[in-house]
Amino acid sequence: MALLLAIDSGTTSTRALAIAPDGAVQAIAARPLTQHVPQAGWVEHDPEEIRDLTREAAEAVVAEVGAGAIAAVGLTNQRETAVAFDRATGRPLARAIVWQDRRTADACARLRQAGHEARVQGATGLLLDPYFSATKWSWMLHHVPAVADAAQAGRLALGTVDSWLLHALSGGAIHATDVTNASRTLLMDLRTGAFAPELAGLFGVPLAALPEIRPSVGRFGTIRLGGAHLAVTGVAGDQQAAAVGQGCLAPGETKCTYGTGIFLLAASGGRAPESRHRLLATRAATAGPAAFALEGSAFVGGDAVKWLRDRLGLIGTAAETEALAASVPDSGGVTLVPAFAGLGAPWWEPRATGLLAGLTAATSRAHIARATLEAMGNQTADLLEAFAGDGVVPSVLKVDGGMVANDWLCQDLADATGLDVVRPANIETTALGAAMLAAVGAGGAPDLATAVARMVRPDRRFQPRAGAEVRSRRRETWRRAIGQVLAGLPGGGA
């Protein structure tokens, strides 16, 4: 089979990769996205910039390998980010509201207080949190006149980033999403795979403006890149794509992605999980019957390292953190809770803010860098404890994402969790998963299991070095820090 073009439209960058049938990356291009933060708690993207930079990156790869070498396109994207655009003109009507945005926290609280959360969770597998798309679209309809006017005129189109890119790159021919992205909107019934009118009514979102929901594997249509028309045959949200890219297909198989945030996902098979510990049930990407997954999310992962670099100026590049962390025997008593976008699972506290504790006159930038990386392991351990409460106890932790190129971090993840940590040869597993979905959709592989066997390779295993007593002390210190964050909230927190 010829090459697969994977388009990975993420939170901080958009990238394109040409991937061979054996999983090898033949070409790659990336473009950074501008993060707009107009006020505390708000995070926005320019949809036109997402479109233009995605096209630019994809066309650079197409030019390098030749359009004739590409058999199909797989698209994966940051989930939950809400876009509103004009169906007639194809132009966006507002900036996209990013998944990290917290502006609808009060609206979610009102819905919880009115007693709607149990019904919403039962239908969607999700909790009432500003993380998800529905309240973002509702906010646009109430606060952006152009969005309200388009709805009144019947011209409004709503979608997540996959829908926006499919529409924009197809010249308006496609207004569709896949079931994994739709399952993150608070509007899709998890079991039927359709948008539910009663949920649309609850959030005040017009059903007619929403995209068509399709399976993750299949022909979505063609997009135009550099004069070539290329078929899109696989689409999935980034975390579901990463699970495919890690080969997590059977129930219980678990991966954790360390990108902008931290996302732990375990395959659940054909039955939707029901969490008792405030985790999420979501659709998994599959080429067959409906499949589900259990997921826990921490909102800040790599963004904490960006904070060190861009806000504090303590490092020049993210790669410096590895040597800095290794240069000191411990964090010197420093603990960072990077709740810059609130706390995700299992706390679900959008009002939470970050905490840097334990500073002394002896604290150095190395201690702060180490505490920042240790926060990744501490948050992962929180998620794993919640998963264990729901009966999911992985034997190993498969990791991916840009952060896990850092060997020190991978070893610390093993020490923090007590699990062997397995890193794949290709840490671009989100793009790899999109390519695998596209391969099956284009007929280049008979099923995802075959694609996994051909394309997924392990790189290195990190085994725990810290003992149970050390791990227990670390957990106690972290829990005290979380307790400080929650105690500082109005009413004492969640």
pLDDT digit string (tens) for the chain, length 494 residues: 589 999 999 998 999 999 999 999 999 999 999 999 999 889 999 999 999 999 999 999 999 999 999 999 999 999 999 999 999 999 999 999 999 999 999 999 999 999 999 999 999 999 999 999 999 999 999 999 999 999 999 999 999 999 999 999 999 999 999 999 999 999 999 999 999 999 999 999 999 999 999 999 999 999 999 889 999 999 999 999 999 999 999 998 999 999 888 999 999 999 899 898 989 999 999 988 999 999 999 989 999 999 999 999 999 999 999 999 999 999 999 999 999 989 988 998 988 999 999 999 999 999 999 999 999 999 999 999 999 999 999 989 999 988 999 999 999 999 999 999 999 988 889 999 999 999 999 999 999 999 999 998 878 999 999 999 999 999 999 999 999 999 988 766 55
Q: How far apart are CA 21 and CA 57, in angstroms?
A: 21
Provide the pLDDT for residue 490.
75
**Residue among 283, 267, 234, 282 nearest 434 (CA):** 234
Provide the pLDDT for residue 1.
56
- Using the structure block, give the residue that is written with the tokens 């019934």: 189
Amino acid at 89: T
Identify each DSSP E strand in 270-375 by its residue range: 280-283, 292-298, 335-337, 355-357
Amino acid at 90: G
Buried b (16+ CB within 10 A) or exposed e, 86-125: bbeeeebbbbbbbbbbbbbbebbeebbeeebbeebbebbb
Q: How far apart are CA 444 and CA 17, in angstroms?
A: 17
Measured over the CA atoms of residue 166, residue 167, residue 173 and residue 177, the dihedral's sign is positive
CATH topology classification for 3-237? Nucleotidyltransferase; domain 5 (3.30.420)
Provide the pLDDT for residue 494.
53
Per-residue pLDDT tens for 189-236?
999 999 999 999 999 999 999 999 999 999 999 999 988 999 999 999
407-417 vs 365-389: helix crossing angle, rounded to 10: 50
Measured between alpha carbons, how far is residue 292 from residues 162, 249, 286, 400 in Å?
20, 10, 9, 20
Q: Would you give the DSSP letter of residue 364?
A: -
Distance from the Cα of residue 460 to its chain's centroid: 24
- Are 101 and 44 in contact by the 8 Å Cβ rule? The answer is yes
Q: How far apart are CA 267 and CA 403, in angstroms?
A: 23
Angle (CA) 263 168 260, round 5°: 20
- Are 3 and 19 in contact by the 8 Å Cβ rule? The answer is yes
**420-424, strands of its sheet edge to edge:** 280-283, 292-298, 262-269, 254-258, 396-400, 420-424, 458-462
Instruction: Classify burial at 34, counting beta carbons within 10 Å of its beta carbon; exposed 0-12, middle 13-18, buried 19 or more.
Output: exposed
429-441 vs 448-455: helix crossing angle, rounded to 10: 130
Provide the pLDDT for residue 248.
92
H or E element, residue 147: helix 145-153
- Using the structure block, give the residue that is written with the tokens 């021919």: 173
β-pairing verdict for 228-237 and 420-424:
unpaired
Measured over the CA atoms of residue 387, residue 392, residue 395 and residue 397, the dihedral's sign is negative
Provide the pLDDT for residue 350.
86
Instruction: Classify burial at 443, counting beta carbons within 10 Å of its beta carbon; exposed 0-12, middle 13-18, buried 19 or more.
Output: exposed
Instruction: Give pTM, 2 decimals.
Output: 0.91
Provide the pLDDT for residue 341.
85
